[in-house]
Structure 1
Amino acid sequence: MSIRFIPVAEINDPLTLAIGLSGGSGTGKTYTALLIARGIAEVKLGRKGAPIGYVDTENRRALHYKTSFPEMVHFDMKAVDGNEIGFGPERWIEVLDAAEAANLPVVILDSFSHAWEGVGGVLDIQAQTLDRMTGGDDSLKNKRSQLAWADVKPRYRRLIDRIVRAKCDIIICTRAKPVMQEGFGAKAKNARSTKTRRADVPWDPASDGDLMFEMTTMVILDPSAPGCPVYQIKVADQFKGLLDVRRPMGEDTGRAMAEWAKGQGDAAAQKAILDAARDVARKGTDAFTAYWNSDEVRANRPLLRTIIESLKELAASADADAGEADSDDPFGTTPTPEQLAAAEAEALAAIRESDDQAQAAE
């Protein structure tokens, strides 16, 4: 087999998108997915009414929107379909093969949670495999559980690899379950670890924990703001300017993402602006405040606000490091973690006060 490295100037094929939308009931997953898909399809095929593939596992729920989305091409993926039963990995691969064969520009998988926890899904397969390995002896299940996973996971990884390598764009909708909280108000946090690996996200997607990090973009919706990307689990710089936690995603979101995938968007310029702001923030609070209030940056503030919290943290950390480095006594006691945390908190408070004053001035 010959191996050839190709100059990137010769690679002009558009990139593909894999967008993950998760959320509980009433968060607008289905409608939002259809809107985003419409924008993507129109850009990819260059016309209104471009087809949207829809894989429906939830008793044809998507057909509630058939009047609003007449371009939808629907597949009712039932738990029982002829001689095929359940939502096993191989069946999903067959569905994606069919979507590509139909030359669909984008396909929505709703709900892909069935691939994980539905009839014939990964958890079901693992449980059945474990029963066979133990012969129904419950005392052996803990010892042989990992062996059962070793038998199932390769099948599921082939499905994930098929999604990643799909030629059509994919929007994956998954259910999310609320996580029990400890503490109250601003101090509340998750009482247990979740698949998102974040203590500030009170939802846990009903899917494989690794799946969301394979997505181009992964967000979790909240019932308090249907369609809005409230919890941004994985959002690359090129999409940060598109996703406002206060504004529902829609056709424009899909169009902008598709333009980026075609290489016609302004994502590269936006990323350069974000990276420049990070570099300044690493110089400390004073440098970043002056940068923020400069005339050249004023027009970029809406974009920079998408990462403002991380910029404040970078500046606060730089201030704390500078305070330690400027000590008159080079052999002095190293600050404790509590002292460093207090210094960072003080710097953050100063930045927020400056930010509030700037917003008031605007």
Structure 2
Amino acid sequence: MTAHIRFIPVTEITDPLTLSIGLSGGSGTGKTYTSLLMARGIAEVVTGRKGAPIGYVDTENRRALHYKSAFPEMLHFDMQAVDEAGQMIGFGPERWIQVIDAAEAANLPVVILDSFSHAWEGVGGVLDLHATTLDRLTGGKDDLKDKRSQLAWAEVKPRYRRLIDRIVRAKTNIIICTRAKPVMQKGFGDRAENARATKTRRKDVPWDPAADGDLMFEMTTMVILDPSAPGCPVHQIKVADQFKGLLDARRPMGIETGREMATWARGQGDAQAQKEKLDAARAAARSGRDALQAHYKGLDDAGKRLASTILDELKRIAVEADQARETVGGEISFNDTRPTPEDMARAEAEALAARSQEEA
């Protein structure tokens, strides 16, 4: 039986979008407090009232309760690796799916998962599941582990992908906190960069989140906090244009950040207008450095502040545009010296005739 498929005009779709925000950082970077502040702003916009409930899933030995007097609206769930009977149940993908199901059933406007790193590297998490599966497939024989590692991943990864899909399709807003560890560096000062590249790293970000790259890039926003500036989105891994003017690496995120993000998700605010301004700056940069400079000078102070959020990107585009023009002397070159198929056939025929004469 063929399922009924209906394409819906966007003007009929009025449901607000949901946010999935990733905060990663080491100890002392302010993940817990920042997530609570942002959640308060989100909850107030979603419900239209102050003091709206904030769901908090705590795997960190009830660390969130340090802030219970500051956030009396918090609804706390102590997620432990053992159940009430003392049986080990771990932090497998299916448990996290149950948590999100429960948050939706409770009509929570926002839920914080802290620390979601347990889903990846905790007891019963993805790495633990892979190791257990690999032991089963190899019978504990070390010489077979390299050969059968991919088979083990083939069993585990679909379970984790179902969890990621559940997060993406959640009907409640989610803030995911993950741990981050320092990355070994090579070079010094401005020339320092990560010694080993992975899909979850950028060369200029000296932190490695304890999470999978598939999850990180599914987030609406993904930032890494640094101990040098607690709560500040210092390393912006994935930030949509709509939020670039909102996230300032020099300013801690807080209640207003959550409000602005939630306002955008409800189809309101000026986030789309900000994106259009950034696109206009990119269009100017594609005409080169002079055009970019002229565009920048014509902006008001607010426009300049917004453009500064992607200034490195704009400079790169402008430089590449100028270099492309210099390569062809400022014009399109029609003097293509590459041989055509006809030229190649003619040359081959001439060479063959010359060889025949020599043999004669």
**Is TM (by shorter chain) over 0.5?**
yes
8 A contact 2:179–2:209 mirrored in 1? yes
1:191 aligns with 2:195: yes
Look up the SS of the partner of 2:307 in the other structure: helix
CA offset digits 1:130-187 (Å, max 9, x no partner): 1111111111111111101101111111111110110000000000010000001101
Q: CA deviation at 1:84?
A: 5.5
Q: Counterparts of 1:244-323 in structure 2 under 5 Å? A: 244-294=248-298, 296-323=299-326
Q: 1:226 is matched by which residue type in structure 2?
A: P
Q: Structure 2: state its 5+ residue gaps.
A: 338-360
For residues 50 and 326 of structure 1, the distance between their equivalents in structure 2, rounded to whole angstroms, comes to 63
- 2:135 match: 131
CA offset digits 1:236-294 (Å, max 9, x no partner): 00000110000000000000000000011111111110000100011111111112112
- 1:33 match: 35
Q: Structure 1: state its 5+ residue gaps.
A: 335-362
Structure 1 window deviating more from structure 2 (303-312 vs 78-87): it is 78-87
Q: 2:67 is matched by which residue type in structure 1?
A: Y
CA offset digits 1:97-132 (Å, max 9, x no partner): 111111000000000000000001011111011111
- 2:246 match: 242
8 A contact 1:40–1:257 mirrored in 2? yes
For residues 92 and 33 of structure 1, the distance between their equivalents in structure 2, rounded to whole angstroms, comes to 18
8 A contact 1:36–1:251 mirrored in 2? yes
- 1:121 match: 125
1:181 aligns with 2:185: yes
Look up the SS of the partner of 2:22 in the other structure: strand
8 A contact 2:134–2:148 mirrored in 1? yes
Look up the SS of the partner of 1:227 in the other structure: coil
The structure 1 residue matched to 2:60, chosen from 58, 61, 67, is 58
For residues 291 and 145 of structure 2, the distance between their equivalents in structure 1, rounded to whole angstroms, comes to 59
Look up the SS of the partner of 2:213 in the other structure: coil
Q: Taking structure 1 as reference, are residues 272 and 91 closer, same or farther at Cα in structure 2, changes over 3 Å only?
A: same
- 2:25 match: 23
For residues 261 and 182 of structure 1, the distance between their equivalents in structure 2, rounded to whole angstroms, comes to 41
8 A contact 1:26–1:226 mirrored in 2? yes
When normalised by structure 2's length, the TM-score is 0.90
CA offset digits 1:316-357 (Å, max 9, x no partner): 1111111112169969999xxxxxxxxxxxxxxxxxxxxxxx
For residues 309 and 202 of structure 2, the distance between their equivalents in structure 1, rounded to whole angstroms, comes to 18
For residues 60 and 32 of structure 1, the distance between their equivalents in structure 2, rounded to whole angstroms, comes to 16
For residues 293 and 134 of structure 2, the distance between their equivalents in structure 1, rounded to whole angstroms, comes to 59
The structure 1 residue matched to 2:217, chosen from 213, 220, 240, is 213
Look up the SS of the partner of 2:21 in the other structure: strand
- 1:204 match: 208
Q: Counterparts of 1:82-97 in structure 2 under 5 Å? A: 82=84, 83=87, 85-97=89-101
For residues 332 and 126 of structure 2, the distance between their equivalents in structure 1, rounded to whole angstroms, comes to 60
Q: CA deviation at 1:197?
A: 3.5
For residues 265 and 171 of structure 1, the distance between their equivalents in structure 2, rounded to whole angstroms, comes to 21
When normalised by structure 1's length, the TM-score is 0.89
- 1:79 match: 81
Q: Taking structure 1 as reference, are residues 3 and 84 closer, same or farther at Cα in structure 2, changes over 3 Å only?
A: farther
Q: 1:98 is matched by which residue type in structure 2?
A: A
Q: Taking structure 1 as reference, are residues 332 and 226 closer, same or farther at Cα in structure 2, changes over 3 Å only?
A: farther
Look up the SS of the partner of 1:232 in the other structure: strand
For residues 313 and 163 of structure 1, the distance between their equivalents in structure 2, rounded to whole angstroms, comes to 35
Query: Runs in 1 of length 4+ with deviation above 6 angstroms?
Result: 331-334
CA offset digits 1:202-240 (Å, max 9, x no partner): 101001121100000000000000000000000000000
For residues 72 and 258 of structure 2, the distance between their equivalents in structure 1, rounded to whole angstroms, comes to 18
Q: 2:131 is matched by which residue type in structure 1?
A: A
Q: Radius of gyration: which is bigger?
A: 2
- 1:353 match: none
Look up the SS of the partner of 1:119 in the other structure: coil
For the aligned residues, what is the CA RMSD?
1.7
The structure 2 residue matched to 1:45, chosen from 32, 44, 47, is 47
For residues 32 and 194 of structure 1, the distance between their equivalents in structure 2, rounded to whole angstroms, comes to 27
8 A contact 2:180–2:209 mirrored in 1? yes
Structure 1 window deviating more from structure 2 (261-270 vs 247-256): it is 261-270
1:14 aligns with 2:2: no
8 A contact 2:56–2:76 mirrored in 1? yes
Q: Taking structure 1 as reference, are residues 153 and 331 closer, same or farther at Cα in structure 2, changes over 3 Å only?
A: same
8 A contact 1:291–1:297 mirrored in 2? no
8 A contact 1:228–1:246 mirrored in 2? yes
- 1:4 match: 6
